[in-house]
Structure 1
Amino acid sequence: MGRAPKTVDVRLKLPMLEIAGSWEPNDAERRAAWELYVELVTRVSVVPMRADEGLLREALTSLYSLFGSTREILRRHGPQIAEPKRDGQYNFGYLAVAMLNYGLRPLLASWHPALEDWESRRPADRSRRDHERAWPEADRLRSSLDGTRQVLSAYADLLASACGIPNLLGAIPPAPTDG
């Protein structure tokens, strides 16, 4: 990660919080940023899901698992990735916790119980997929997932910048449009 810039411009617009300023990541923060970056770009969190693809439950489960992955990264790298910086600069710890609490938690807190309630009403002779597609709220949840995907994509961009790498999301071809 030798090409990594000394300072990274931070501009993140979360559902209930806007983060703007700068971040001068130390080596431990860059290693943690790489680990979280890999978690983000390899799951549904940043890959668009077409209306006829996947299960909403699987998408929510994947997003929920980011809590465990991020906690593990924070524990493994220790306090040096959350040390206060001069002039109010951001640190990896703050950015990671903000991602969880303001980028993911609102979506999961709202939609997880709503989908769980619908799932509990599935008739025995109906597949999980067919039942989920019949849910009147499915399109709204897909829209919410897309909004969260945009937030997490901005995080992925930030983490790639901190690591001094091109954003690997360019390797993901855009989803074909319906119609």
Structure 2
Amino acid sequence: MVIGSLTGLAVFSLTQVTSRSLFVITGGVAGAAAVLAVQWYQRTARLTQVKVTVPQLSELTFAVNNDARQVAWRMFIETVTRVSTQPLASDEGVVREALTSLYGLFATTRDTLKAARPSAAVPGGHTVEYLAITMLNRELRPFLSQWHARLREFEQSHPESPESDWPDNAACRAELQQVQRDIHAYAVGFARLAGVREPESLIGLVPVPRTPDDPPERSRPSAGNDRDAY
């Protein structure tokens, strides 16, 4: 009732305005509406093309707007602050926590995509959703489905044994390094879509795959808790 009364009063007041004042009010309302429309277009409708090179996918052209850039920025932060792109030496951390971190990346990516509005379809252009879903299904899912089951089997059959006794420990870590290299490329791609300058300097070095003949790695100094990388 109050809202209706105030609305009726406002309409009545406007009908009493004549001449120059009416033109001023009408022009002000039209100007405000135009500004809001332009801002909305700049935020959501205007598309720009960005070329991204992911070795696993070759060079792709993406059509992004501000909403897509925000999704890409969230994906960039998620990938570069986890073990998915940060090297894990052979004498550092535990594989179980690394797998848990990758599962977290999988779940966060899925939640981010579900919460965002679908990108506008553009002929010949890919979307940030395409890059994110490809990372999940091509890189994370195969690795997790294989090694999670094998590690869980060892943990259940050897509940008192340390993870270092797991016969597949070295093989899992070696494949983890390859996954890190692959996701590193996706992280750079998300950074390009988000408009981040020099993303490689933020991500760090690309994890280098190791062979059984390589000498043991020395632990890297850490500025904080090692779990922060997960």
The reply to whether TM is greater than 0.5 is yes
SS for the counterpart of 1:148 is helix
Q: CA deviation at 1:93?
A: 1.1
Alignment-derived partner of residue 136 in structure 1: 167
Letter matched to residue 86 of structure 1? P
Change in CA separation of 1:178 and 1:108 when aligned onto 2, cut-off 3 Å = same
Q: Which TM-score applies when normalising by structure 1?
A: 0.81
Structure 1 position 66 matched with structure 2 position 105 = yes
Moved more, 54-63 or 165-174: 165-174
Deviations 1:22-67 (A, max 9, x none): 1121111100000111111111110000001111010011001112
Where do 1:60-139 residues align within 5 Å?
60-79=99-118, 81=119, 83-87=120-124, 89-124=125-160, 126=161, 131-139=162-170
What is the aligned residue count? 163
Which structure is higher in RCO with an 8 Å CA cutoff and minimum separation 6?
1
Alignment-derived partner of residue 9 in structure 1: 51
Q: Which TM-score applies when normalising by structure 2?
A: 0.64
Q: CA deviation at 1:78?
A: 1.7
Change in CA separation of 1:10 and 1:144 when aligned onto 2, cut-off 3 Å = same
Alignment-derived partner of residue 3 in structure 1: none
Letter matched to residue 133 of structure 1? S
The runs of 5 or more residues in structure 1 that have no matched partner are 1-5
**Is the CA contact (8 Å cut-off) linking 2:60 and 2:126 kept in structure 1?**
yes
One of 42, 60, 66 as aligned partner of 1:21: 60
Moved more, 131-140 or 44-53: 131-140
Change in CA separation of 1:36 and 1:173 when aligned onto 2, cut-off 3 Å = closer
Structure 1 position 39 matched with structure 2 position 81 = no
**Is the CA contact (8 Å cut-off) linking 1:45 and 1:152 kept in structure 2?**
yes
From the CA coordinates, give the structure whose radius of gyration is larger.
Answer: 2
Q: Structure 1 vs Structure 2: percent identity of aligned residues?
A: 35
The runs of 5 or more residues in structure 2 that have no matched partner are 1-47, 208-215, 219-230
Q: CA deviation at 1:97?
A: 0.8
